[in-house]
Amino acid sequence: MSHYKSNLRDIEFNLFEAYRIQDYLGTGPFGPIDRDTAGDILRETERLAAEELAESFAEIDHDGPKLVDGRVLLPDGVKRALDAYYEGGWDRIALPESLGGFGAPPTLRWAVQEFFSGANASAFLYVCAPLMAHVIGRLGTPEQVATWPKWLMDRRWGATMVLTEADAGSDVGAGTTKAIPVEGDVYHLEGVKRFITSGDGDYYENILHLTLARPVGAGPGTKGLSCFIVPKFLVDAEGAPGEWNGVSVTNIEDKMGIKGSVTCELTFGLDKPCVGYLLGGVHEGIRQMFHVLEDARMSIGAKSAATMSTGYLNALEYAKERIQSADLTQTRDPNAPRVAIIRHPDVRRMLLQQKAHAEGMRALTLYSAWVLDQIMLHPEEPHWAKLSDLLLPLVKGYCSEKAYDLMGQCLQVLGGSGFTKDYPLEQYIRDLKIDSLYEGTTGIQALDLFFRKIARDQGQTLMRLAAGIIETVKGGGADDPFATERELLGKAMEDTQGQLGVMVGHAMAAMQDPPALYKVGLHTNALLESLAEVVMGWLLLRHAEVAHEALPPAGPRDRAFYEGKIASARWFAANVLPRAALRRTLAETEQGDLMALADEAF
């Protein structure tokens, strides 16, 4: 039996009932995909994920990649999963038709990705070629656009993004890998990169490394970086691999989780020159790489949400089957019948907390994907791209942190059994932890949210988002069944705005008193939490309104589903949204004493 428990019904609810993507499917940029085709894609990818991709989930955790004589050998389980994925052509779902793709909307792409990430995240991390093909297709020179994307897709290459260096870490601008000009757009790269996901493997005939390096003579920091196309093997005019290109795997990491995914140290130019081709013929490396980073951050947030969902559903299944102890009201009766643990109050509390957050994370992820749809449908409106930028640190930062926290509760439902390898929860926890570290830690996401997405924008995009939330707060009539939830959402919105106002005040004071900026940095993570929970509370309330309208004609199965949607929104509003008040108070009373404490006192 598959470890993976999907939630196709809730995904369909998000896409077709809450966000109604069928209203624009089959038109404009999404002409190739109509409502029926979208439904077929969802059902088939769910089946593929639960049956073929999930089959090697535990196997590749026990028997991971190995470095032998400078080559990474991938386990058979990874290869079987990738075979099934590629044979279905699913690597093309996110690509536009111009690059040989399906032309599917981002909402459908990210819904499908939930299945794949939830079923076997380690294997799915090898699939980076579509993203690199898309980025080169947008940013490359005419010659690069005509060749590299086609080779990546038609020849089923691997691909990586190569940023991190051991002495730089998240300070990407401190990187020292250098690029020595040879002729035109051709350079030789020299340096060492670390933590490179899917940096090598014997499944692919070639691997394309999109690499940041500093051309000789370029200035310091991120502005001095350029982006290079670096194939593992040099290619001929048809893309066929030839001689090795001087990029070596000098180590692979022995990790806590996602053990089926290889994480490499790559050394460029160690034994022979490593050729790199300047992307787009321009020295705009960090701007170009952000196209990759933004997609990767969304992908990691979606991975967290997917794992949270299957973790909850595994816990739910166990709670319905595990018979233990009498009902709490009958514990004094030694002859009272034993009940399933889902009947025990504390287990029930944990399950609803898991359910509300799993559905809230999915709502946030697919709403962010819906915004990406709007960018394509309305390219003349800059608001949608700005809103996407604002939501991205919420998806990546909040989902990765909260999923890891709550997975412990999923395991707790199973008790001692959850601590064993008989169930997938312990692997979920290990595989999840990386998500809050990948592509910038949560602290970096929070700094990005405040300084780049809110302050630099002067709060314009946030205010427009807030206006939509306030509209929901003021909705409802005389017999509104969600009056209490609207009030709680409004109060949380007010407290989050208050928290933000205090932080903006500290940022302005820092122009005269630089240490005042510390008071901002001490609360950026808390602001990310508050804002993410307000947006999730808003989306869950909107979903509850849709469910409430659908209840009267619903059959028994759908009725239970819709009642569950309403219960999630009510629980989240009552138990999560009030936390914003505490965060506001903490921001308002911040004195900055922590930064004055001597290092030796820790």
pLDDT, position 301: 97
Name which of 17, 262, 329 is nearest 128 in CA terms. 262
pLDDT, position 96: 87
pLDDT, position 69: 93
Q: Rounded distance, CA 380 to CA 375, Å?
A: 8
DSSP, collapsed to helix, strand or coil, labels residue 177 as coil
**Which residues are paired to 186 by β-bridges?**
183, 277
Q: CB-based contacts of 315: which residues, under 8 Å, 6+ apart?
A: 350, 351, 354, 409, 410, 411, 413, 414, 425
HEC letters along 152-166: HHHCCCEEEEECCCC
The pTM of the full predicted model, rounded to 2 decimals, is 0.96
What are the pLDDT digits (tens) for 353-372?
999 999 999 999 999 999 99
pLDDT, position 553: 84
Matching CATH number, 157-283, of 2.70.210.12, 2.40.110.20, 1.10.3720.10, 2.60.40.150 = 2.40.110.20
Q: CB-based contacts of 380: which residues, under 8 Å, 6+ apart?
A: none
Q: Of residues 52, 55, 439, 529, which has the active-site annotation?
A: 439
What are the pLDDT digits (tens) for 305-336?
999 999 999 999 999 999 999 999 998 999 99
Name which of 286, 296, 258, 263 is nearest 128 in CA terms. 296
What are the pLDDT digits (tens) for 562-583?
999 999 999 999 999 999 999 9
User: What percentage of the chain carries pLDDT values higher than 70?
Assistant: 100
pLDDT, position 421: 95
Q: Rounded distance, CA 82 to CA 394, Å?
A: 30
Going by pLDDT thresholds of 50, 70 and 90, the confidence category of residue 392 is very high
pLDDT, position 1: 75
Count of Cβ atoms closer than 10 Å to residue 132 Cβ? 24
The angle at the Cα of 120, spanning 114 to 126, to the nearest 5 degrees, equals 95
User: What percentage of the chain carries pLDDT values higher than 90?
Assistant: 95
Report yes or no: 156 and 132 within 8 Å, Cβ to Cβ: no
Q: Rounded distance, CA 437 to CA 445, Å?
A: 10
Report yes or no: 82 and 126 within 8 Å, Cβ to Cβ: yes
pLDDT, position 170: 86
pLDDT, position 471: 97
Going by pLDDT thresholds of 50, 70 and 90, the confidence category of residue 97 is confident
HEC letters along 31-50: CCCCHHHHHHHHHHHHHHHH
Count of Cβ atoms closer than 10 Å to residue 339 Cβ? 16
Across 114-120, average pLDDT: 98
Is 439 marked active-site?
A: yes
Going by pLDDT thresholds of 50, 70 and 90, the confidence category of residue 99 is confident
What are the pLDDT digits (tens) for 75-84?
999 999 999 9
| Chain mean pLDDT for the chain | 96
pLDDT, position 307: 98
Across 86-110, average pLDDT: 92
Report yes or no: 230 and 245 within 8 Å, Cβ to Cβ: yes
CATH number attached to the domain at 285-440:
1.20.140.10
Q: Rounded distance, CA 93 to CA 105, Å?
A: 9
The angle at the Cα of 353, spanning 414 to 349, to the nearest 5 degrees, equals 65
pLDDT, position 554: 78
Cα torsion angle, 533, 538, 540, 541, sign: positive
Does domain 8-124 fall into CATH 2.60.40?
A: no
Question: Percentage helix, strand, coil, to 5, in the chain?
Answer: 60, 10, 25
pLDDT, position 149: 96
Is the pLDDT confidence value at 373 over 80? yes
Is the pLDDT confidence value at 152 over 90? yes
Q: Where do the structural domains in the chain lie, given as residue ranges? A: 8-124, 157-283, 285-440, 443-602
pLDDT, position 535: 98
Lowest mean pLDDT among 85-89, 244-248, 282-286, 555-559: 555-559
pLDDT, position 563: 97
Structure tokens at 209: 């490394």
What stretch of H or E contains 196? strand 186-197
Going by pLDDT thresholds of 50, 70 and 90, the confidence category of residue 585 is very high
Structure tokens at 392: 């991205």
Report yes or no: 472 and 538 within 8 Å, Cβ to Cβ: yes
pLDDT, position 422: 95
Report yes or no: 302 and 227 within 8 Å, Cβ to Cβ: no
Count of Cβ atoms closer than 10 Å to residue 408 Cβ? 14
Going by pLDDT thresholds of 50, 70 and 90, the confidence category of residue 476 is confident
Across 393-410, average pLDDT: 98
Count of Cβ atoms closer than 10 Å to residue 483 Cβ? 13
Structure tokens at 371: 């915004």
